[in-house]
Structure formats: C-alpha cells, structure tokens
Amino acid sequence: MPVVWKPEYEVGIESVDEQHKHLVSLINKLEEAKAHENENEVIHDIFYELVDYTKYHFSEEEKFLKSFEYENLMVHKAQHKVLVKQIVDILNGLKKGEYEVGEKLTLMLQNWLIKHVLKHDKIYANKYLGN
C-alpha cells in the first residue's frame, strides 16, 4: 500500500514539508515500480534517487537548523547519520537480493521517515515557530 500523506505529518515549515512529501512520493514510486517491465532496473534507479534526495534533504535541514542556532543540532545531525546508514544498508540489501520491494519494504521506509519527522523534526519546528 502506498504511504498516504497525512496533515499530522506536517511540521508547519513549507520548504521542509515539501521535501518530506517528495521523499514519501519516492517511497511510493518504489512500490509502483513493481508493475514495470524492467522492474529491477527501475527499482534501483528510484532507490538511488531516494538515497540522494535524502542526503540533500538532510543537508538542507541541517543548514536551516544552524541558521537559527538550534541547540540540538548535533544530536539531530547524528540521527540523520543513522537514518542515512539505514537506507544505504537497505540499498545494499536490495542489490544482493535480500529485500523484496513490496509491503514490508514500504512499511520499513514509512517507519524510517515518518518516525523521524513526527518525533524529531516536529521538535525543532515547534521551537522555530515558537509553539
């Protein structure tokens, strides 16, 4: 099942929300790729894009956090590092055929992203927005 974006996932900062939505759309694209003729090739392409975009998004987010001197920047950065490692591990597993693209992987990616967004990104967003 595709990940359905919910308003509760929004942190309230437009540029950040747009990037999070793009990550979700890449996760959804992976599942759609199953129907494709060149399935493996398409899946790898999307996954590389997901890894790339994740790195881009995290570096943008870190720049933003630095710009308002977020006091937990180092901790947040460390969490991003763990998340990148997890997704690179999944990519390597895919290459070795350890993962199948389907419900389980989507759920894994959903948890990987949504948990961070809901828990940790919301903390800095609330701080920034003064909530």
Which residue ranges make up the site for Fe ion (CB under 5 A)? Answer: 61, 121
CB of 60 to Fe ion, least distance (A): 10
CB of 117 to Fe ion, least distance (A): 7
Residue 125, exposed/middle/buried by CB under 10 A (0-12, 13-18, 19+)? middle
Q: How far is CA 88 from CA 7, 26, 94, 126, 128, in A?
A: 28, 15, 10, 30, 30
CB of 45 to Fe ion, least distance (A): 25
| Nearer Cβ to Fe ion (44/62) | 62
| Nearer Cβ to Fe ion (31/121) | 121
Q: In sequence order, what are the residues at sequence separation of 6 or more whose Cβ sits closer than 8 angstroms to the Cβ of residue 19?
A: 53, 57, 60, 61
Rounded to an integer, what distance in angstroms lies between the CA atom of residue 116 and that of residue 109? 11
| Nearer Cβ to Fe ion (44/86) | 86
| Nearer Cβ to Fe ion (44/122) | 122
CB of 116 to Fe ion, least distance (A): 6
